[in-house]
Chains A and B, each alone.
Chain A
Amino acid sequence: MNPNKATKTESPSSLEPPTGFWLFLYRANKGVRTSTPYLMFFGIALWLVTYYLFNEGWKLPLFNKIPGPVEVITEWISRDPIFGMSLFTEAYHTNIYVSCQRILIAFSIATSVGVPLGLFMGWSKTFRDYTFPILETLRPIPILAWVPLAIIMFSGFETPIIFLATLASLFVTTLNTLLGVDSIDESYFRAAGCLGSKPRHVFWHVVLPGAMPFIFTGLQISVGVAWFSLVAAEMISGDFGLGYMIMDSYMQNKYVTMVMAMITLGFVGWLTSAMVRFAGDRMMQWRVRALALEGR
């Protein structure tokens, strides 16, 4: 079944692995010979055609009031958009830029606080006993319930929005990191103890790398959650951003722009989780290579 399996235990291949551009070419070449790109393309096309048929083709009642794909795409690539926003207008870019910047700030704060917090909670029983009840009480409060509080506490548009996105993302990151530490096999701690590690060595060389797979799973979820709460916050109190763009165009009956913002949000969200995944793969070569041997 899997040709790679046979090479697993034998001596390493004498072929030099390609690097840089050649590696890219190799992967691209290998990629087009699998069904993946074609299926992806087909999937998107199928979705667009269905959307078109329901909406502009058969004019189903449910889809009557929303703009169709042709209308949206035409507006999107128009140099002179009817509703004032397209790929070629500054306002569109500003909205994307503002949202991305907020996500970057919120995600960075949440990660740099959440990961250490989770690691310490997993590592030190005492610290966990202190902090776990607080985490578990605050975590189930829906992020929308924090909106009034955020508006009361912080002034302006920017801070409350970032606060909300950070908060949502922080809980996810902390909890996943904590679970990551819990998931580490006891024998690694024992081996490290045997080899003369002090607690700080255990923290840096066992706890941190051992929790890494869970941390990155958590970060992928957390960046998604950050987008979710960011858009919610922007809808309620905002001046710019994709969430604001959706709400604003809805209020002004610019439904084409609204759909455009939604799809943009989807793409940008996908891109950010892909970036997190990429970073994770770079940092966990030990795992990537093992999975590659299993053909994944």
Chain B
Amino acid sequence: MDKPTSVTRDSAPASVHINRVSKAYGEEWERQQVLEDLNLEISPGQLTAIVGPSGCGKSTIVNLVAGFEKPDSGTITMNGEAITGPGIDRMVVFQETALLPWLTTYRNVVFGPKLRGDMDPRELEAEANRIIDTVGLSEFKDKYPLQLSGGMQRRAELARAMINHPLLMIMDEPFRGLDAMTRELMQEFYLHLFEESRRTNMFVTSEIEEAIFLADQVVVLSNRPATVREIIEIKLERPRNFEMLSTSEAYDYKRQAMEILHEEALKSFKRTGGQDDFLDAYAKRAE
């Protein structure tokens, strides 16, 4: 948590190893095993997307890697060092916006460096303005988050993360809840940022197409307790554009991922119980 940024800044992108990690929630008599012996590697300078059926424990992985929670067993290391708590070398962009509503865009962006006092004030101001400009919010830097649209809020949050020069960006379904148009624009924009910086990115999503469009590899998780079902290497060229999504290659990736997710979703329905009526109806339709 207290590591100085000067060390982390401009150093090589990080790699993350999740080694036999288990995590369960709830009281002893109703324990829900969310992760069990999960092994996962996030390669340096790559964009790794994690997809899985809803409720499979994607957010738990985020919380563990970010350091908000600790695993019951197993280890998580970044560049060989165990993760013990949240730190500025790993920035999270949250599902729903976590901009502080009582600070303006600008003040949200400079929040971290200003508290830590690890940047020269003038340098910070210039850097903040540059980053705010990069995400196209110069005109809105004195507005409060609640005055911004959903897409702007996400960009402000990206800016707030980027100014800290993290080694790892953790994106927890960041574009969920945006309308389709804004979502596409944000995906493209985010992709540009990644392709320029080549920072290690972990991108959690429930949208397969989003994962294929953005990622170098797509990790498909199984149902709860989550384990890695499949890792699909996405060999689409970079820089990418939306047209690539209609190539046969992309289509194959998509089908592959869909099949696994479909199986897992059905398993999940069978296991939760009380869904028998739905499964009957579903089976009839499928015939």
Could you list which residues of chain A lie within 8 angstroms of chain B, going by C-beta atoms? Answer: 8-9, 11-12, 185, 187-188, 190-198, 201, 205-206, 209-210, 212, 284-287, 289-290, 293
Cα A243 to Cα B164 in complex, Å, equals 59
> Do A284 and B102 touch (CB < 8 A)?
yes
A-B CB contact pairs (8 Å), 18 listed:
A9-B149, A187-B98, A188-B100, A190-B66, A190-B98, A192-B100, A194-B86, A194-B87, A194-B90, A195-B88, A195-B91, A196-B88, A196-B116, A197-B112, A198-B115, A205-B100, A284-B102, A290-B147
- Asked if A286 and B94 sit within 8 Å, CB to CB, the answer is no
Inter-chain contacts of B66 with A (CB < 8 A) = 190, 194
Asked if B102 contacts A290 (CB within 8 A), the reply is no
> What are the residues of chain B within 8 A of A191 when measuring CB–CB?
92, 94, 98-100
Nearest-neighbour CB distance to chain B for A227, whole angstroms, equals 30
**Which residues of chain A are within 8 angstroms of B140 by Cβ–Cβ distance?**
12
B146 within 8 A of A: yes
Residue in A9, A191, A210 with the greatest tally of chain B CB atoms within 10 Å = A191
Determine the main DSSP class of A at the interface with B.
helix
Q: How far apart sit A267 and B143, CA to CA, in the bound complex (Å)?
A: 37
Question: Which residues of chain B in 136-188 are interfacial with respect to chain A, using CB atoms and an 8 Å cutoff?
Answer: 139-140, 143-149, 152, 160, 164
Across the interface, which residues of A come within 8 angstroms of B85, CB to CB? 193
- Find out whether the CB atom of B98 lies under 8 angstroms from the CB atom of A188: yes
Contact pattern, B 86-108, Cβ under 8 Å of A = 1, otherwise 0: 11101110111011111100000
CB of A196 within 8 A of CB of B102, answer no
Minimal beta-carbon separation of B256 from chain A (angstroms): 34
List the B residue with the shortest CB-CB distance to A11. Answer: B139
Q: Which residues of chain B have C-beta atoms less than 8 A from A284's C-beta? A: 102
For A285, the closest partner residue in chain B by CB is B144
Shortest CB-to-CB span from B229 to chain A, Å, is 28
In chain A, what residue has the closest Cβ to B95? A187
Partner of A209, one of B95, B102, B139, B147: B102
Residues 57-98 of chain B, each 1 if its beta carbon lies under 8 Å from chain A, else 0: 000000000101000000000000000011110111011101
Contacting residues, chain B, for A197 (C-beta < 8 A): 112, 115
Tell me whether chain B's interface is mostly helix, strand or loop, or mixed: loop
Would you call B68 and A195 a contact (CB within 8 A)?
A: no
| Min C-beta distance of B136 to chain A, whole Å | 11
Q: Let me know if B100 and A194 touch, CB within 8 A.
A: no
Chain B positions within 8 Å of A, measured between CB atoms, are 1-2, 66, 68, 85-88, 90-92, 94-96, 98-103, 111-112, 115-116, 139-140, 143-149, 152, 160, 164
Q: Beyond A190-B68, A195-B164, is A286–B92 a contact (Cβ under 8 Å)?
A: no
Give chain B nearest CB distance to A240 CB in angstroms. 42
Contact A286 B152 (CB under 8 A): no
**In angstroms, how far is the closest chain A Cβ from the Cβ of B169?**
11
Q: Name A294's closest neighbour in chain B (CB-CB).
A: B146
Q: Quick one: given A8-B147, A206-B100, A286-B102, are A195 and B112 in contact (CB under 8 Å)?
A: yes
**In the docked arrangement, what's the CA distance between A290 and B143, Å?**
10
Residue among A196, A212, A290 with max Cβ neighbours from chain B (10 Å)? A196
Check B94–A187 contact: CB distance below 8 A.
Answer: yes
With a cutoff of 8 Å between Cβ atoms, the chain A residues found around residue B86 in the complex are 190, 193-194
Q: Which residues of A contact B160 (CB under 8 A)?
A: 195
Residues of chain B lying within 8 A (CB to CB) of residue A187: 94-96, 98
List residues of chain A with CB within 8 A of the CB of B102: 209-210, 212, 284, 286-287
Q: Give A193 to B1 CA distance when docked, in angstroms.
A: 8
List of B residues within 8 angstroms of A194 by Cβ: 66, 86-88, 90-92, 112
* B94 & A190 in contact (Cβ 8 Å cutoff): yes
Task: Indicate if the CB atoms of B115 and A195 lie closer than 8 Å.
Answer: yes
Q: Which residue of A lies closest to B151 (CB)?
A: A9
Can you name the residue of chain A whose Cβ is closest to the Cβ of B94? A187
Q: Nearest residue in A to B96 (C-beta to C-beta)?
A: A187
Q: Which residues of B contact A289 (CB under 8 A)?
A: 144, 146-147
Contact B147 A293, beta carbon cutoff 8 Å: yes
Complex contacts, B87 vs chain A, CB 8 Å: 194, 196
Q: How far is the CA of A29 from the CA of B1 in the complex (A)?
A: 54
Q: How far is the CA of A201 from the CA of B152 in the complex (A)?
A: 26
Residues of B within 8 A of A11 (CB): 139
- For A206, the chain B residues whose CB sits under 8 A away are 100
Residue of A8, A192, A193, A284 ringed by the most chain B CB atoms within 10 A: A193
**With the chains together, A201 CA to B116 CA distance in Å?**
10
Chain B residues within an 8 Å CB radius of A293: 146-147
Within the complex, the shortest CB–CB distance from B77 to chain A, in Å, comes to 18
Closest B residue by C-beta to A193: B86
Bound Cα distance A194, B87 (Å)? 5
With a cutoff of 8 Å between Cβ atoms, the chain A residues found around residue B115 in the complex are 195-198, 201, 205
Contact A290 B144 (CB under 8 A): yes
A11 to B147, CA, bound (A): 11
